[in-house]
Structure 1
């Protein structure tokens, strides 16, 4: 059969969880709404707090700001539509609107991967070659590296979008997901080029995920080796504490993704509802918990926050006395 690149689909329907009973729609929309509020409040707080505290305007915390901006944008791109589906029964998204959402979903995920690489590089130089750290890692150099993290995936994602748009869409217009992603969209396409586009996209996705992951694993393996060689137990604990936030954030981002990819590779059966839930967990859980990790696992941020709270409490008590 011969297909042209003309599609009769003008809009897509966001399916969400196919097995979910309508009586639970309100509960699900409320959960998504509170997740979005947590993402928005937490990441806006981190951005504002670091920008307002000159003592925190250091390379490590500038990386945190870039990651917080990325997490905030991802939540804003993905959650409002699925909230409106379950809250207002608005499950229609335009054809091109779906592609725009798909672009940002995969672009922001790729940017996160490269920002985690920058984060690992920062800790690698700080612990493995500390004497060179003040020279190599400055606010300007970190800003440049984070700029590359935002810039590198653009050309790859534009290529992916153009290839997907060129496919003819003649199947169902139902997106079996809570937001538009590449697999859900291209599975509705027709013709022999679909498989080629999907394989090409997979290779680009693996480049954006596995290349940074390889360096991240090398960095933290080197850091752990250096820490184990330290003779002072207190020094080991203090050094390890400086990179535990980054390790937590990296694990939260990569481990669920690796589980899903391995499960698909070995043929482990996962129902559609569970698969969608897993995708949501590894997509939305990191943006929601990263601000908590920053505040409770980063000593400078935690101490500055506690100091400000104590100052505010003392100021309030003084006003009450007078």
Structure 2
């Protein structure tokens, strides 16, 4: 089927939060704009520190810079249109533009999931095999892991978008969402979407559960290794190298798993509450990640202190 001669819908309208009263539009757009600006500034600070500070150019920070790229691209993909919807009452997105946005939403989400997985693998190698760490995490292996995480993330989004695009969209064009994702768009198709939603659901669980399983294995092994260390101070020092990642992992994976599972076991929430949950786990981690990684890193603290000499910024992160 061709979208050109079946679909009569030429564009989509992003509604956002359907229960939000118009007099709150300005406040919501301001909050979302602030989140976007803080995301850009925070990640730009880390990127600047990474480029200018030689000691940051190590495997763990190569992974973090890729996470920062994911965060910035995801926020740039999703936030401008929903900000425009509330700030200028312009929520219209073209038919093709919606599917382009859908692709990047799912692609960047998958890439971020894979990057978090290899970050956990890096900590596993650093703590469980400290003597072999530098021979395991060579520049070549780090490059292969990073490139693989981006390439492997392509297949799923290409599949779900290529299956969703040709569907007939012949009536409703309002998306009860803050951006174009697979579920919100294919719900509007004038056909039975079950054949299209099942592969997308399988992809969603795969891209979440496989990395999450690797992360759980890595941190269970790390916990066992740390408990063998003699002395409380040594244990706390080692745990401190993992705490930032654990916070980000919890913020990224647990709300997503809860959202997918609740919808499939019969737990129902209001549409507005569902969208609040989705926006929180989609947009808060990109804003919070720089605070966790940048402001807890001694080298970045020194960089910031040159501009803010009287301000104490963050808590140093001791890295292995």
Structure 2 Cα separation of the partners of residues 27 and 205 of structure 1: 32
Structure 2 Cα separation of the partners of residues 309 and 32 of structure 1: 26
Of the candidates 291, 302, 309, which is equivalent to residue 307 of structure 1? Answer: 302
Q: 43-52 or 217-226: which moved more? A: 43-52
Equivalent residues in 2 for 1:267-278 (5 A)?
267-278=266-277
Deviation at 1:266, TM superposition (A): 2.7
The structure-2 alpha-carbon separation of the partners of 1:284 and 1:311, relative to structure 1 and needing over 3 Å to count, comes to: closer
What are structure 2's unaligned runs of at least 5 residues?
A: 310-320
1:24 aligns with 24
Secondary structure in structure 2 of the residue aligned to 1:243 = helix
Equivalent residues in 2 for 1:5-84 (5 A)?
6-84=6-84
Structure 2 Cα separation of the partners of residues 308 and 187 of structure 1: 49
C-alpha RMSD over aligned residues:
1.7
Equivalent residues in 2 for 1:78-97 (5 A)?
78-97=78-97
Give the TM-score taking structure 1 as reference length: 0.92
| Contact 1:82–1:91 (CA under 8 A) maintained in structure 2 | yes
Structure 2 Cα separation of the partners of residues 310 and 114 of structure 1: 33
- Can you list the C-alpha shifts for 1:272-304, whole angstroms capped at 9, x where unaligned? 01111110001001101000010244xxx2x21
Equivalent residues in 2 for 1:236-247 (5 A)?
236-247=235-246
Structure 2 Cα separation of the partners of residues 175 and 275 of structure 1: 14
Deviation at 1:310, TM superposition (A): 4.7
Give the TM-score taking structure 2 as reference length: 0.92
2:312 aligns with none
Structure 2 Cα separation of the partners of residues 52 and 21 of structure 1: 46
Structure 2 Cα separation of the partners of residues 216 and 58 of structure 1: 21
Structure 2 Cα separation of the partners of residues 90 and 282 of structure 1: 24
| Contact 1:16–1:177 (CA under 8 A) maintained in structure 2 | yes
Deviation at 1:191, TM superposition (A): 2.2
Secondary structure in structure 2 of the residue aligned to 1:93 = strand
Deviation at 1:313, TM superposition (A): 6.9
Secondary structure in structure 2 of the residue aligned to 1:168 = coil
Task: Tell which structure's C-alpha radius of gyration is larger.
Answer: 1
Structure 1 Cα separation of the partners of residues 70 and 49 of structure 2: 16
What are structure 1's unaligned runs of at least 5 residues?
A: 315-322
Equivalent residues in 2 for 1:162-311 (5 A)?
162-192=162-192, 194-297=193-296, 301=297, 303-311=298-306
Deviation at 1:190, TM superposition (A): 2.2
Structure number with the higher helix fraction is: 1
Paired residues in the alignment total: 307
| Contact 1:10–1:95 (CA under 8 A) maintained in structure 2 | yes
| Contact 1:120–1:220 (CA under 8 A) maintained in structure 2 | yes
